[in-house]
Amino acid sequence: MQQKWLFVITPKTKLIDFNFKEVWAYRDLLILFVKRDVITVYKQTILGPLWYLIQPLFTSVIFTLVFNTIAKIDTGEIPPFLFNLAGVTTWNYFKECLTGTADTFKKNQNIFGKVYFPRIIMPLSVVLSNLVKFGIQTGILLVFYMYYVSIGSVIRPSIYVATFPIIVLCMAMLGLGLGMIISSMVTKYRDLSFLVSFGVQLLMYISLVSLPYNLFVINDLTWAVDYNPMAHIIELSRYVLLGEGTVSLFGVVYTLISSISVLFIGILVFNKTEKTFIDTI
């Protein structure tokens, strides 16, 4: 007698295949991975979740000392520490999404080779777990924001502050898309995993994390940031949260198109790689 199977697992044959229904069916597994990433990372550490706060605070202090106190870089009416903290907090979410998903196939090859579930669950869990960390760090940013307002600093959020979730979504799409592209390439070219951490550090300095856009204008270096979507995202986040920044229609449109395009390409490459990666990893 011919048996009727509940599920038949076969390689994807379509180039474009966004199986959202299957991902939704495995939502419980996605939530489990998110909890694992959030809870177990610092489970046996002394300070625990405080590390979520220590890293951006210490980085902002160092940037303030080096770029604003020693190099005398002006941040306008925004206090230098708050200026740097806003940039570091925004950048950290993108960086963690990118580096966390850039090694998906290599890091999870054992579980991928033993049990089936939609492979995209893994990079999605990284993006969502880092969103929790980003929320905690944004809370600290708001605490310092209220402190500086209480001591008389002239800080006014933009009327477009309600668009901040869209900015966060663009960061998530960029980090997820680039991470899936790099992860797919790492299955054949292992050197990329070393290049990512090095490249991310270099990219930070042309993403306006600690440097104002006006500094690039004065030195005729706008070309270094105008075509960097993360530079526009960080500048937009400062503008909507702190009321300070250079925003253009080109930057907004370019960021939206780049984020969607990178995510679309990332999903295509990821779907194609997951059919054969176990033979090359």
Quick: pLDDT tens for 43-94.
655 566 677 788 889 999 999 999 999 988 888 888 999 999 999 999 999 9
Q: Which of 7-11, 98-102, 200-204 is predicted least confidently? A: 7-11
Here the tokens at position 93 are 């979410």
For residue 237, which phi and psi values (nearest 5 degrees)? Answer: -65, -40
Separation in Å, CA 216 to CA 88, 212, 222, 227, 239: 19, 7, 5, 13, 17
pLDDT reading at 1 higher than 80: no
Quick: pLDDT tens for 203-255.
888 888 988 888 888 888 888 888 999 999 999 999 999 888 888 899 899 99
- Residue burial 156-183, b: 16+ Cβ < 10 Å; e: rest: eebeeeeebebbbebbbbbbbbbbbbbb
